[in-house]
Amino acid sequence: MAGKQDYDLVIIGSGPGGYVAAVRAAQLGLKTACVEKAPRLGGVCLNEGCIPSKALLDSSEYYHLALHQLADHGVKTGKVSLDLKTMMARKEKVVEELTGNVRKLLESHKVTIIEGTAAIAEPGAVAVKPNKGKKQTLSTRHILLATGSAPVTPPGLDFDGERIVNSTDALRFDAVPKHLGIVGGGYIGLELGSVWLRLGAKVTVIEMLPKIGTGLDGQVSRTLDRILRKQGFDMRLGTRVKSAKASAKGVSVTVEKDEKSEDLTFDRLLVSVGRRPLTRDLGLEELDVKTDDKTGHIIVDAAYQTSVSGIYAIGDLVPGPMLAHKASAEGIAAVEGIAGRHGEVNYDAIPSVIYTWPEVAGVGLTEEQVKARDLPYCVGTYPFTGAGRARCMGETDGFVKLIAHGKTDRVLGVHIIGPRAADMIAECVLAMEFGAASEDIARTVHGHPTFAEALQEAAMAVRKCSIYAS
């Protein structure tokens, strides 16, 4: 190994955590390298997750609108047909363009991009096996791990890529399944289920818990369940998979609810029950980097440093929601700390979004969490049926729910199910970041007619609660 440091920072992984951290590190004057084993930059999010799934969600929504709703607006389309091959090609083009942009972004900031598989040889040294060429060792002052996560494989539900599939496989079907089974009622399963339902599949969701969207506000979860059932989802809640057997024709699944078994048959079975941190073969055990025995997460301190000095970890590798924007925020905070600045992430103000239609978005505490903490609180809700813009669009399902502290009026959480919820939540995140009260939102002038007026109305509804009661 060279006597001097080749780099100030070597980042392993180029997803939303890794590439954002690399850019910020370069901006702060750190000589930075980013190692990525995949042929394209961007990690799971850009290549196999957030971006391709949203591309298909948008395309399938256009198809569904053409089939069922455009006529209501006076738009006559004639016979509508599906060209799945073109839809998939468009998705790939979107991914290719965005991953290409990530490469240009890193190159413009003089970040060294190394294509290969990396592991920590020792503190201050990263061993790289390039996709092409000879092995090399990178000498560095700091190492940042940002390798992301992979789908969990439950016992007896091993992926075969054809019949029993993971979320990546479900983005690449070459035909619309007649009947798609989904194990898991979380955001990934519901989003991919929405894609294939719109394109003509029958979709059955098998969820072990009594509700979908674990972690959602209860009122929002119940509303989403009702709307998705109305769209055609077959929801099997409180149900677990006992066994699954794939054949050339499909997948035979035995499920159990209330000690009663039932046999189901699907063309394909999507298993989406969570994700696990990708820590294997990074050299963590050899260096005694501490991890959580139950979850596999790497344990870090407030500066995202692991139990070994000079080695850091962010994103899906560390505790917290597995969200791309959470990883990006942590990447920035970690490298700012490395550069001698103050970096911090406010975990109370991280939004989450489910891109079904209507969309679901939330930030802060749910009503159930507020009750569990025994906090005095007031709730204001407003339905999209009362929003002029929603009426014009013909999308009136859902509501905005704002929870404020009963004594201080500070916003504790906002939960939205409805059109454009993914974009509306940004105002709520900003409000919570600045410690706003519901009155602040209520008194803020919102454009008319907009979906955001429903948020203002919900904030006004909070005022009807006795927030100044002793």
| Cα gap 1→117, rounded to integer Å | 18
Q: Which residues are annotated as a binding site for NAD(+)?
A: 184-191, 207, 274
How, if at all, do strands 399-405 and 352-354 pair? unpaired
Q: What is the rounded distance in angstroms from the CA atom of residue 82 to the CA atom of residue 86?
A: 9
How far apart CA 3 and CA 138 sit, in angstroms, is 11
> What dihedral angle (degrees, nearest 10) is formed by the CA atoms of 356, 359, 365, 370?
-90
Cα distance between residue 252 and residue 242, in whole Å: 11
- CA 208, 212, 218 angle in degrees (round to 5)? 120
Task: Give the Cα separation of 399 and 355 in Å (integer).
Answer: 16
Per DSSP, 449 falls in state S
- How many residues can be counted in the chain? 470
Question: What's the token pair of residue 414?
Answer: 């906002």
- 448 an active-site residue? yes
Distance CA 332, CA 338 (A): 10
Exactly one of 73, 142, 446, 448 is catalytic; name it: 448
How far is Cα 93 from Cα 10, in angstroms, rounded to an integer?
30
Separation between Cα atoms, residue 448 and residue 144, nearest integer Å: 46
Q: Mark the binding-site residues for FAD, compressed into ranges.
A: 54, 147-149, 316, 322-325
- Tell me the two tokens of residue 245: 């057997």
Q: How far is CA 277 from CA 129, 146, 226, 331, 389, in A?
A: 21, 10, 33, 16, 42
Specify whether the CB–CB gap between 184 and 203 falls below 8 A.
Answer: no
HSE-CB for 220 with a 13 A CA cutoff: 32
What is the rounded CA–CA span in Å between residue 292 and residue 299? 7
Task: Please give the annotated binding residues, written as ranges.
Answer: 54, 147-149, 184-191, 207, 274, 316, 322-325
**Which residues are identified as catalytic?**
448
